[in-house]
Structure 1
């Protein structure tokens, strides 16, 4: 049985998993979750009742949480590109950066999005203000961290970059990465040019009107 990924193309965490799959040309079936595919939603919720996606199905085994999915793919369906280094301390660095992008970049974006989805103007404003404050701190740290680096952890594209690509994509939509951060802006451009992420971005284009903060006419 081939691998099956349950998710949605516009979801940042689904994109994170898709990047890993595309990087190694791993065969899989994508099952999009939405109102037009209730059969997929029912199967997905049986696999992971917490209602978060993506979820990977490999035969009788299901794997939740995107970082774990990517590590599982390396262990069970490894390809030519290793997304987690073999050397333990280097792997720890990659895992830290993966957590940084999920917790300190993507989480503030989700906070702003959640505020906007309430339809309440005050909650929208407060959510965005909190996100801007946290994203500015993250941008400043990344500007220094990424100096003289091609990718997040160095010369090799890793799990950390799988996390960074959708996180910075939506973060820039939420709070523009200003010219004060030229290193970070250049890194985001490299991520957008990476074929695996470019493919994920293109597949999500039809859903851009769903972005509750308003999708900019770029990228």
Structure 2
């Protein structure tokens, strides 16, 4: 049986896992977490009552968190493109960049977006300002990093890029890269990657759900 992936096509963390499956050319059953598919939601909450996604289930094994799902996929399919290098030092760099994109791009981006969903009196302008500040700092750091490399951890596409693609895609919607040429060039390479291009197209119909609206001049 195929592994089941409980996820949503518009979710940045779900897309992170989708990219790895596509890069590995590994089939899976998408249990799409949407109102029109209530049985998937019921199964998902039984597996992971914390109610976060993506969640993977296969042969009685449950794996939560996108990074762990990519690690599971690497164990299942050690052949083919490597999402995590075999060399321990290179693997450390790849995993570190995965965490950087999750913690310093994805997290502040989501803080800004989720604040838009709050009632007017419950919003957190200070927290949003700090999130924008963090994005500016990490953009500057990434611009320097990407001046001398093709992909997040070097010359090969891997787990860091799986995290980078959706996080930068949505982060650009809330705070543009503003002339950081090396970061922009890296982002363009990610956009051209077939695995991520597929995610963008699969989620296109959901763009009206983005709080505050998707920027018409940059969505592509």
Q: Same fold (TM over 0.5)?
A: yes
Q: Which residue of 2 aligns with 1:141?
A: 141
Aligned residues: 218
Question: Quick one: distance in 2 between partners of 1:211 and 1:79?
Answer: 37
Contact 2:24 2:77 in 1 (8 A): no
Asked whether the equivalents of residues 6 and 40 of structure 1 are also in contact (C-alpha less than 8 Å), the reply is: yes
Given the two structures, how large is their TM-score scaled by the length of structure 2? 0.95
Q: Counterparts in 2 of 1:1-150, with a 5 A limit?
A: 1-120=1-120, 123=123, 125-150=125-150
- In 1: Cα distance, 2:30 partner to 2:208 partner: 22
TM-score (norm 1): 0.96
CA distance in 1, matches of 2:142, 2:48: 33
* Residue 200 (str. 1) matches residue 206 (str. 2): no
For the Cα contact (< 8 Å) 2:5–2:28, is it kept in 1?
yes
Q: Which runs of 5+ in 1 are unaligned?
A: none
Helix, strand or coil: the match of 1:117? coil
CA shift in 2, pair 1:148/1:51, >3 Å: same
Q: Is the 8 A contact 1:19 1:196 kept in 2?
A: yes
The equivalent of 2:181 in structure 1 is 182
5+ residue gaps, structure 2, are: none
**2:215 aligned residue:** 216
CA RMSD of aligned residues (A): 1.3
The SS at the match of 1:154 is: coil
Deviation by residue 1:82-101 (Cα, 9 ceiling, x = unmatched): 10000101100111100000
Q: What secondary structure sits across from 2:203 in the alignment? A: helix
Q: How far apart are 1:122 and its partner, in Å?
A: 7.0
Distance in 2 separating the partners of 1:164 and 1:126: 26
> Any idea what the Cα deviations from partners look like across 1:21-49, whole Å, max 9, x if unmatched?
01111011111102111110000011111
**Residues 157 and 183 (structure 1), Cα distance of their counterparts in 2 relative to 1, 3 Å cut:** same
